[in-house]
Amino acid sequence: MSDNLPIRKIIHIDMDAFYASVEQRDQPELKGKPVAVGGSRSRGVVAAASYEARKYGVRSAMPSVTAYRRCPDIIFVKPRFEVYKEVSDIIRGIFQEYTDLVEPLSLDEAYLDVTNNKKGLPSATLIAEEIRKRIFESTQLTCSAGISINKFLAKTASDINKPNGMKLIKPQEAVGFIETLKVKDFFGVGKVTADKMRRMGIHTGADLKSKSLGFLTKNFGKSGAYYFDISRGIDHRVVNPNRIRKSVSIENTYDNDLTDLEDVEFALQELSVNLEKRLAKSHVLGKTVNIKIKYADFEQLTRSKTASVWMGKSSDYDPLWKDLMQDPQLLDRPIRLLGLGLSNLNTEENDDLGLQLTLEF
């Protein structure tokens, strides 16, 4: 941070196993049991897993068959997104009582900038404690919180004492904390990148910090500058309550694999109708249509096609995805999942840590 940038108070709130916890709350017989939301024993993908299921290595985005193999006692539950949305709205209402600077990342997590909060509370830690208490009283659900001076540190902190925990990283503790943190635990460093860093001898934040900007840019492209900054605790991103949506999409996993063009086109037509409804609800238009295909062997690919005009109706974008599906290579294997979406939306727009260390956290 530059000398002109004040220390901020950022909280990251992350609900604990949100979808699965809602199901365990509403179905008491599921409490204490391994639960997977989404999929079935033979089909689909896990959308969320309870902590009891996670002990067996079950996680979100895992094929259901793998989840069942790892945990034969797992209970699959159909998702109820309308319920999750209702609960999320209650939680966001609580956030808004403290600050207007709320940036939702999904239904179950958000950043809050409480540097100047509505209740005039001096401590971000006390605010986080109060919010967690309010959420539990209102929803009977637990959440975890990370509190620090920027988004990166707050997000990283919220994972440390999960579930139902909290972690504060004070300004004066930030550099030391990052130096000892394993790079695989850095938010924004995925498994593939972490493996690449490990092969380069980069295991901790201190190792990462020792590398020059040139080295990181050469080996990690545009992400190199991000890694250079976060290894020093630098993250100037603001909490943006008006986060710009980049795409609108819908997808479905099928009980029986799709094997011919007629079945695939019928399935895409169904997705197209629902996508149009979602676009209308979101009040957005797009220029690029995207198809997502996951095959029975779980290999995944995407295809896209861009128009010169804004599209919001199925009659506008149907010809584009139908043209994409004329490629015979897309139908060379059974298909288990299809997705359809629009991007290139009309919503898009073409530190030193030692300062102010007396600020109360």
Token pair of 146 as six digits:
């990370």
Please name which of 300, 297, 279, 299 lies closest in space to residue 289, comparing C-alpha atoms. Answer: 279
β-pairing verdict for 335-345 and 247-258: antiparallel
Contact 3, 120 (CB under 8 A): no
Residues 23, 52, 103, 109: which is the catalytic one? 109
Contact 268, 291 (CB under 8 A): yes
Contact 16, 142 (CB under 8 A): yes
Token pair of 48 as six digits:
């969320």
- The DSSP call for residue 102 is E
| SS3 letters across 240-290 | CCCCCCCEEEEEEEEEEEECCHHHHHHHHHHHHHHHHHHHHHHCCCEEEEE
Contact 233, 351 (CB under 8 A): yes
> Is 109 one of the annotated active-site residues of the chain?
yes
Please spell the DSSP secondary structure of 181-206, one letter per residue: SBGGGSTT--HHHHHHHHHTT--BHH
Token pair of 19 as six digits:
């979808």
Rounded to whole angstroms, the Cα distance separating 194 from 210 reads: 16
First-residue to last-residue Cα distance in the chain:
18
- The DSSP call for residue 30 is G
Rounded to whole angstroms, the Cα distance separating 180 from 165 reads: 21
Please name which of 339, 308, 304, 300 lies closest in space to residue 320, comparing C-alpha atoms. Answer: 304
Token pair of 280 as six digits:
């209308």
- The DSSP call for residue 78 is -
Contact 110, 7 (CB under 8 A): no
- Name the residues annotated as catalytic: 109
